[in-house]
Amino acid sequence: MEGRSFEPNVVAYGTILDCLCENGLLKEALDLLSEMKVKGIRPNIITYSCLIHGMYDSGQQEEATRLLNEMVDNNISLNIVTYTILIDALCKEGMISKAVETIDMMRKQGIESNVVTYNALVNGHCLQNEMDKARNVLRLMIEKGCAPNTVTYSTMINGYCKGKRLDEAMELFHEISQKGPFPNIVTYNTLMQSMFQLGRVSTACELFRKIFASGQVPNRVTCLILLDGLFKTGNLKEALKFFQAMQNSGLELDSVPYTILIDGLCKAGHIEVAKELFHQLSDNGLKPNVYKYGVMINGLCKEGLPDEAYRLFGCLGAWEIMTVRLIVAVIM
């Protein structure tokens, strides 16, 4: 544009700035901001909002605060987007009281919180394991006529699961299943993982079946949670059966499910099956990584097969050998 004598305006610069921030190129974004100012192009609320968001996301709070102060000095009023970015950053830093103060400041300026603002506050309380306070924010949203969305409920359910309050998570899950918005696959994944961690295997498997009934499609993460959960709870037969079903479905498998299987089989003492799967990796065009070598070598040693372990060890390079030694030391 500049080469053809077309002078880029604030919208053109804003588009590039947003792209730079999205890709973590913050130094380049700040350089472009300086270039704008030198050319006499005045940054607007959108310009500052994307920069402040990028700074907070990368942990550069001081730079974000400097930009906020610069906005105020230039008589640019903060809008709902900028306030929400600030509230989200404060909540993630655990500064909930300051986030609430910021919401009060918004209200005094006649700006009401939207669903994204409330979600940031819900998430902040969940991160601090303040689930009762998060629930109060949920009630406040509804009272204010701001309908919670899937993100709101998924955040709440995730918070309950992390706090091992599975019954309350399930209560909320059933509530939204009946009233809406409908749970998404992330919500199902969160609940399944928590169920396996708490040893509720049959409930987790039942929930997996409900995914299909709800019209959702399990994704790669769902399958890995089920596979890993079955192995870690000692359900080896069911795990192998499910892995076979994954293969038969035509699903393109990477090395992760193989790692789960090899690790589980080695720990359960089924070294021959583990060896077979390890060799299948290469047959399927998948290169075993250092972690898989470490797991396999550790398994062979535990089963009293040092010669085979040593042969496998000999396939590694110098840096890989050092890494495998560390892995074996940790998992032993």
pTM assigned to the model: 0.76
> How far apart, in whole angstroms, are the C-alpha atoms of residue 140 and residue 198?
31
Query: Where does a domain end: 43, 77, 111?
Result: 77
pLDDT digits (tens, 9 = 90+) for 90-125: 898 888 998 998 898 888 889 999 999 999 999 999
pLDDT digits (tens, 9 = 90+) for 43-90: 888 888 888 888 888 888 788 888 888 887 888 888 888 889 889 988
Q: What is the DSSP string of 244-285?
A: HHHHHTT----HHHHHHHHHHHHHTT-HHHHHHHHHHHHHTT
pLDDT digits (tens, 9 = 90+) for 213-231: 888 888 889 999 999 999 8
Query: Where does a domain end: 40, 62, 77?
Result: 77
pLDDT digits (tens, 9 = 90+) for 143-177: 999 999 999 999 999 999 999 999 999 999 998 88
Which structural domain range is residue 306 located in? Answer: 256-332
Q: Which two tokens stand for residue 324?
A: 């495998």
Q: Is there a contact between 43 and 36 (Cβ–Cβ < 8 Å)?
A: yes
Residue 324 half-sphere exposure, CB side, CA atoms within 13 Å? 23
pLDDT at position 324 is 41
Query: Where does a domain end: 42, 57, 77?
Result: 77
pLDDT at position 315 is 66
User: In this structure, what CATH number is given to the domain that contains residue 31?
Assistant: 1.25.40.10
Q: Total domain count for the chain?
A: 2
Q: Which amino acid is at 20?
A: L
Residue 286 half-sphere exposure, CB side, CA atoms within 13 Å? 18
Tell me if 120 is assigned to some domain: no
Is the pLDDT score of 2 beyond 60?
yes
